[in-house]
C-alpha cells in the first residue's frame, strides 16, 4: 500500500483582504484523499513569499525564523508519518493532522479514563452499584468509542480497550473493532 504524502505551505487570501500580511496555511494530501488545511498561526507579506518554494524569501531575522518554523513543521510531519508506517498503522490526512494537533492524545485519555471507571464500577457491583448501572456505563463507553471512530477515523486506539468496548455494533449496526 502506497502511503506517500505531501505538504504545501501557502498564503491564504481572506474575502475582505485589501493589503498587508496574509495568513500561512498548511495543506496536507495523501494518495488522492481530499486535502486537509490548517492555519499555522503565522503571517507573511505576499511580496516576501515564494509560492514554488513554499517559503519566505529574504535575509531578515524574522523571515529566517519563519522558514525555520516551516521546516520544523515539515520535520514533525515526517516523524509522525514514519512512525505510522513503521507500526503498520493507517495513514490518512485526518489521522496525520490529528496527531500533529495533539487531538489523538485527548481521545486516548478519555477512552482510557472511561474504561478504568467502568472497571472500578464493576468491582463495586453489589456494594453501592447495581449491575444495571454497570451495563449503562459500558453502553456509554461503546457509544463514545463508536463516535470517536466515526469522527476521528481511528480504529487503532480501540484495540487497547477491553473487549466489551472494542467489539460492538457501530452506529448503523455494522460491527466495529
pLDDT tens-place string over residues 28-69: 998 878 888 999 999 999 999 998 998 999 889 999 999 999
* Percent of the residues in the chain that have a pLDDT greater than 70, as a whole number: 81
- Is 0.75 topped by the overall pTM? no
| 134 vs 55: CA distance, rounded Å | 55
Separation of alpha carbons 157 and 148, rounded Å = 10
Question: What is the residue whose three cell numbers read 488545511?
Answer: 37
pLDDT digits 0-9 by tens, 111-151: 888 888 999 999 999 988 899 999 999 999 999 888 877 77
Q: Describe the crossing of helices 61-86 and 93-101 by its angle, rounded to 10 degrees.
A: 120
What is the distance between the alpha carbons of residues 126 and 103, in angstroms, rounded to a whole number?
Answer: 37
Q: Domain ranges for the chain, please list them.
A: 5-100, 102-176
Burial of 28 (0-12, 13-18, 19+ CB in 10 A): buried
Provide the β-strand partners of residue 55.
50
Encode 78-105: b = buried (16+ Cβ within 10 Å), e = exposed.
eebbeebeeeeeebbbbbbbbbbeebbe
CA distance 22 to 27: 15
Task: Tell the residue number behind the cell numbers 495568513, with chain if given.
Answer: 23
Amino acid at each position: 500500500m502506497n502511503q506517500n504524502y505531501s505538504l504545501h505551505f501557502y498564503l491564504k487570501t481572506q474575502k475582505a483582504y485589501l493589503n498587508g500580511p496574509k495568513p500561512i496555511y498548511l495543506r496536507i494530501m495523501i494518495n488522492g484523499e481530499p486535502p486537509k488545511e490548517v492555519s499555522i498561526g503565522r503571517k507573511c507579506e505576499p511580496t516576501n513569499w515564494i509560492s514554488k518554494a513554499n517559503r519566505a524569501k529574504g535575509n531578515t531575522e524574522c523571515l529566517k525564523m519563519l522558514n525555520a518554523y516551516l521546516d520544523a513543521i515539515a520535520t514533525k510531519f515526517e516523524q509522525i508519518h514514519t512512525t505510522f508506517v513503521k507500526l503498520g498503522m493507517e495513514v490518512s490526512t485526518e489521522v496525520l493532522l490529528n496527531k500533529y494537533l495533539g487531538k489523538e492524545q485527548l481521545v486516548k485519555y478519555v477512552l482510557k479514563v472511561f474504561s478504568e471507571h467502568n472497571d472500578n464500577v464493576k468491582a463495586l457491583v453489589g456494594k453501592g452499584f447495581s449491575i444495571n448501572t454497570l451495563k449503562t456505563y459500558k453502553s456509554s463507553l461503546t457509544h463514545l468509542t463508536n463516535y470517536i471512530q466515526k469522527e476521528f477515523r481511528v480504529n487503532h486506539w480501540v484495540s487497547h480497550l477491553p473487549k466489551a468496548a472494542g467489539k460492538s455494533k457501530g452506529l448503523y449496526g455494522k460491527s466495529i473493532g
